[in-house]
Amino acid sequence: MFASCLMRWFARADYAVRDENPQVVATPTPIPCAPSSSASVPAVAAAGTDGPDDLVIRVKGEASVDTADALAEALLAPAARRRTSVDLDLSELSSISCLAMGVLVNYRRGVVRAGGRVRLAGVLQPGVYAALERASLFDLFDTTLLATAPAP
């Protein structure tokens, strides 16, 4: 008898829940999103050339937040040669973000830990020069090969 009372009570609760909560079907609305940059070609490229005792890496394009991973990969490929001196030629770099500057600092840290040094070479674009100066990165990198920088 006790079991039959429980069965009726649970049956009513189940029935009441179904009536109080009618099923609502919502149509999904599309969410506009920015076009992905992964479909396009990275806007930054680096190419390394071997010298007698050093490695010259020329970086060109725009080092933005979206291309920081591509910059890191481009720097690591020539760095596998393990030279004692690496010259970063940033003269063809049109802009640099703070995340890309972090990539350069991390790259420098790895080279220095392996017993090498990283120098900046060439003539920097005004925007790149101003960004590196604001971040005080000229104190971190050797600038003996850096030509007279343009006025910002």
Counting the structural domains of the chain, the total is: 1
Per-residue pLDDT tens over the stretch 49-101: 776 667 888 888 888 888 888 888 888 876 666 667 888 889 899 999 999 99
pLDDT at residue 37 greater than cutoff 50:
no
Global pTM? Answer: 0.66
Is 112 within the bounds of a domain?
A: yes
Within a domain: 101: yes
What is the CATH number for 111? 3.30.750.24
- Report the C-alpha gap between 57 and 78 in whole angstroms: 8
Nearest to 126 by CA among 94, 80, 83: 94
In 10 A of CB 95, how many CB atoms? 15
Residue 76 within any structural domain of the chain: yes
Q: Which residues span the domain enclosing 59?
A: 42-146
